[in-house]
């Protein structure tokens, strides 16, 4: 499985946290989470719940407008998303090219 939540991992390290440190922050706030729970979200097995996202963003000083960078869909790294979009664009370009060729062939047959 690809490494998930890459930017979040970097931000956690910048603020001196690891996954256990993050769990301790949840514990201090009276919102206990197990190490397994945190790990499953960090690897993308399960999604973070929205109030957890805001809680973590508060601890790590992540501005609201940057939350999607740290908590992308399925925890995918930004480069995974870029590669996926590039692949989809190539597929779309190929489909459009096929359609253009089909139109040209049809026009020649008329």
pLDDT value at residue 1: 44
Task: Report the distance separating Cα 67 and Cα 54, nearest Å.
Answer: 8
Angle in degrees, CA 82, 83, 86, rounded to 5: 85
Mean confidence (pLDDT) of the chain: 87
Q: Of 7 and 56, which is predicted with more confidence? A: 56
Report d(CA 25, CA 80) in Å as an integer.
29
| CATH number 3.10.280 is the correct assignment for the domain at 1-76 | no
Where are the domains positioned within the chain? 1-76, 77-110
The pLDDT of residue 84 is 66
Q: What is the pLDDT of residues 56-81, one digit of tens each?
A: 999 999 999 889 888 887 766 666 66
pLDDT tens digits, residue range 14-67?
A: 999 999 999 999 999 999 999 999 999 998 889 999 999 999 999 999 999 889
* Predicted local confidence at residue 36, as pLDDT: 96
């Amino acid at each position: 499985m690809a490494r998930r939540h890459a930017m979040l991992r970097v931000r956690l390290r910048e603020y001196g946290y690891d996954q256990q440190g993050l769990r301790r922050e949840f514990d201090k706030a009276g919102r206990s989470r197990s190490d397994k729970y945190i790990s499953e979200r960090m690897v993308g097995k399960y999604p973070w719940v929205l109030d957890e996202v805001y809680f973590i963003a508060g601890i790590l000083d992540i501005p609201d407008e940057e939350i999607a960078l740290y908590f992308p869909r399925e925890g995918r790294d930004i480069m995974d998303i870029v590669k996926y979009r590039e692949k989809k664009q190539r597929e779309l370009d190929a489909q459009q090219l096929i359609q253009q060729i089909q139109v040209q062939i049809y026009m020649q047959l008329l």
